[in-house]
Every structure is written in C-alpha cells, then in structure tokens.
Structure 1
Amino acid sequence: MPLETLPVLSLEAPAGQFSQDIGDSFRTFGFAMVKDHGIDSDLIDRAWKLTAEFFALPREEKHRYHLEGMAGARGYTPFGTEIAKDAKAHDLKEFWHVGRDLPEGHPLADSQPNNIWPDAPTGFRETMEELFAAFDETGANILSRIAVYLGLEENWFDGPIEDGNSVMRLLHYPPLGDDAEEGAIRAGAHEDINLITLLLGAEEAGLQLKTRAGEWLDVSPPDGALAINVGDMLQRLTNHYLPSTTHRVLNPSGERAKHSRYSMPFFLHLRSDYRFATLPQCISAENPDRYPESITADDYLKQRLREIGLLK
C-alpha cells in the first residue's frame, strides 16, 4: 500500500468490510481515518466552543483545577508539563482530562478517580460528559470490528474495557512564543499508551505519523472525521501484529504560528485490573511471545506515565 493511500473509511460500511479495511490500515500504518462515526456534529461544535472558552480563562483560574499527585488523571495539566519519552524539551501544550465516574465503593475506584469540574464556562460538565459517552460508544464499536479482524468474537473486548480507565483529553496548543525550550514542538514524537485513540481535530495541520520506512506522513482526515491509531496496549496484546506507531504534532509556521490549535483525543483504555495475556493467534515460531510475564493495565499505565513526566 503506497504512502498516499492512508484510507478514509466509513463506519457505515458493511461490518465485515470495515473490519478488514481498518485492520489492514492498522497493519500498514498503525493509523486509519474514519468518517460517519456517529458522534453528533452539534455536540462536537459545542465541545470545541467550551474548550476554547476554558483555556481562555486566566492562568490562575485554570491552576485551581490542577491536582498535585494525580499524574494528570483528571482536571487541568499546565502548559509545559508533559514530555515525550526520551525527548529533551517539554511539549507546547496544556490540557484537561475527563474520565469515567465510578460509583462509591466500586472495586476500581482507587485506580480510577472521579472527575472534577470547573465553575466556568457554563455547560462544560454536561457537554463533556455527553461527548465522553459518545466517544466511549464509538470506540467500543470500532474495537468490536478490530476483534473480528483478529479472529476473535465480536464482543471479545466488552469485558476487558468494561468500566475501563479511558480518558478524553481537551488539548490546547497556544500560539507559539519566543520563550519555548530549544527544540520544543507541540507534541514530541511518541506512541500512545492505551488500546486505541480516537482523535478529533487532526484536520488542523501538524499531525504526522512515522511510516515503517522511517518517513513522516501527514495525517489529514476530512473535516469532522476521526484519526484513529493503535496504542501500546493493543500492540502488546497482539504481540506487535497491530503496531503502535510513532506520531507527533509539528509547530506551524508563518501566520498559523499566531493561532491556537485545539484537538480532542479519546484514549480508550482497558479496565485497571485487566491482566495482559498475549493473544495466542498472534504468537508463532516467527513471532514468539514478546511478553511472557503478565502485568495489570494499571501497573503498565503507571510505568508509562513516569516515562512522560506525569507521574513522579
């Protein structure tokens, strides 16, 4: 598959065809672009508006919602906090995390804290809870198609992601200033930690993936479509049959450097107590099991959060 054919897939296509197409795109690129995903466009528009309004609040107001010792799991994470693994400069971004609220006494409550919410802007909580639920449903649907591609039952992921530790990130990349660390870019080259990432906002230029040949390829889905990529957890489950691909967000130049960039990735996670076991069909003499030792999803997440500077 040549580089210029990173496909745009329709989630309204026949289920079997979509399974094959997204699996093939993941095998080749670790990425796919998906339209007709079913997330309401009016809801998305409201979320964009409220995201911009929140990040326009005074610095002191935003910092009220920064929770020390939480590794950025919920609430606000200030500009210049996160750093890509092995990078020398921090990313030029700030963000807000929305997760899954669990009822009191839930066995996963210790590893999946409930949300906090800002006093302003009006409607922020209601809109973001609705968008989180929509992402959650669409992500589970796409995972069911991936399961079929892997030769699993369609509902195989239902248990592993039930009450999962998924996170919706509202991202703001401010206009570029002259005070950034040397070599800093909006998001340094990295791989995602989770199963799959569903990203809104990639139609704004800057997102690139690294091909198997080591070349950087622009990811530019149509307006409103999702960029979807394999995360390290799915790579681990499939013994690298589905690869987690390095990607980055470059700094714009010229007039665009004076503008903010916003995006909304939904990091679809396993439940915290899920224990990894490599899928047997992804193990062979040519591809022996790379992960014979088991680990929980929560332990794996904490290990990775330390690498990117969110957990000390």
Structure 2
Amino acid sequence: MSTPYIPCLDLGSYINGSEEQKKKFSDDLGRAFNDSGFVTITNHGISQDLIDKLYENIKAAFAMPVDKKQQYEKPELAGQRGYTSAGKETAKGAKTADLKEFWQIGQEVTDGDPIKNEYPDNEVLTELPNFNNVTREIYQKLEENGKYLLRAIADYLGLPLNYFDKHVHNGNSILRGIHYFPIENPDALPDDAVRAGAHEDINLITLLIGASADGLEVLTRTNDWLPIKAHHSDIVVNVG
C-alpha cells in the first residue's frame, strides 16, 4: 500500500523563483491534489508574529462571556458572519452537532463591485478592536496566497496563469476561527459526539493555518485515515 503524497512546498519558490522552480512547484502541487488532495505550504509570507496575534485575539474573543458573544450571533445569516454558538453545525450525514463554536469573517468589497450588495457586513467586535484589524489582515494575506496557488494549479492544468483570477475576484471566501471548547461532562454526551465530523469542504481550495492541536485527518483512497502533520507556522491546503 503506497503512502498518499502530502508534500511540504515552498510557496516563495513559486512567487519569486525561476521558471524551473515554478514548474516544479506547480507539478508537485498538482500531483498532491490528484493523490491526496492535501499539501502543506511554507514560506507563505505570513509572519509568525501575525499568526501569534491572530491566535491571541481569537482566544480572547472566545473567552468572552456567552452573553457577550451571542450579541454577535445572527441566526438570519446562518453563521456566514460573526459568532456561531455550540450545537449549531452538524456534518453531512451526522445526527449530532459538532462540539465547537466559531467566528466567521467574510469578503470586504472596496472597489465598487456591485457584488458587495450580496454580502452581509462583517460583525465588528467592539470589545477587542485589534481582533478586527488582525483578522482582516490575515484574511487578505490568505486570499493573496490562494490566488498564487490557483495560478500554480492553472499552470499544472495547462490553462492561462490568470484563468481563475476573474472567478475569485471579490469571491465569497470565509475566514473561520474555531474553538473546540473543554467538555465539562463527557459522559453525558451522545456516543456519536465528535469535535468535527467527517466532511468534504465545499470550497475550491481551503487554507488552514497550523493548528494548535492534532486532529486533522484525510481519508485515503484505501479508506484509511491519515493524520496531517504541519508545523505551527505552516499552512495546510486542501482542494475540494
């Protein structure tokens, strides 16, 4: 049984490298997406200081009292912006909701594109002003990385490098901060309760900043679960 191909790739070699380096990056990325659907990315231009600030602010947001957090929960938005409390999201095919809470930030259209009218405004967290600035900066940097990755995919597929650009400009991308909160009484949980149920992503590509704990796994073609290991400063990328 062969091990799925999940390489660690240097995004800087694609952004600033030679034509040969760019070709190798695109080929490695395409091979990994064909094989496992996953890669890890290093040298992505997001500083460790900014990542640390992100975690600091996300933790502070989830540490707020429940009544404060729920002020930013908008049921009519179905979790697309602001806070979503525990018990609200269930994986496809599951009967029990995931044991988590989360906060979502979306696209901010600033160039007059009429698509702005289709997007709800982001919830501004007044208790933590830095939260809004840090999450906005992270969103923009991840979106920039995503565009480079899509250009590499286009190259691998033999398409024009800018093929995906028009499809993702002001796209409906989401930045989600997730908190897997402590379980006070695990014996009282349903037998099928999990932190995050097995699922497929609905996105074109997903970028995950290195998690603070293990748990991410991919289901291989041989029906085995394979842990995805990444350094805290790396970005995990999956397709589909």
Distance 1:23 1:76, change over 3 A: same
Distance 1:8 1:2, change over 3 A: farther
Q: Report which of the two has the higher share of helix.
A: 2
TM-score of the pair, normalised by structure 1: 0.71
Matched, 1:120 2:127: yes
Q: Are 2:4 and 2:36, in contact at CA under 8 Å, matched by a contact in 1?
A: no
**What's the counterpart of residue 73 of structure 2?**
66
**What's the counterpart of residue 24 of structure 2?**
17
**What's the counterpart of residue 196 of structure 2?**
187
2:157 pairs with one of 122, 132, 150 = 150
Structure 1 stretches of 4+ moved >6 Å: none
1:121 is displaced (CA, Å) by: 2.0
**What's the counterpart of residue 209 of structure 2?**
200
Distance 1:19 1:73, change over 3 A: same
Distance 1:177 1:201, change over 3 A: farther
CA distance in 1: counterparts of 2:204 and 2:189, whole angstroms: 32
Matches within 5 A, 1:241-280: none
Identity of aligned residues (%): 40
1:105 is displaced (CA, Å) by: 7.0
1:5 is displaced (CA, Å) by: 4.8
Q: Where do 5+ consecutive residues of structure 1 fail to align?
A: 232-312
1:104 is displaced (CA, Å) by: 9.6
**What's the counterpart of residue 7 of structure 2?**
7
1:106 is displaced (CA, Å) by: 4.2
Count of matched residue positions in the alignment of Structure 1 and Structure 2? 231
TM-score of the pair, normalised by structure 2: 0.91
CA distance in 2: counterparts of 1:177 and 1:183, whole angstroms: 17
C-alpha RMSD over aligned residues: 1.7
**What's the counterpart of residue 134 of structure 1?**
141
1:211 pairs with one of 197, 211, 220 = 220
CA distance in 1: counterparts of 2:2 and 2:212, whole angstroms: 21
Q: Are 1:32 and 1:227, in contact at CA under 8 Å, matched by a contact in 2?
A: yes
Instruction: Tell me the SS of whatever aligns to 1:189.
Output: coil
State which drifts further: 209-218 or 181-190.
Answer: 181-190
**What's the counterpart of residue 257 of structure 1?**
none
CA distance in 2: counterparts of 1:77 and 1:86, whole angstroms: 20
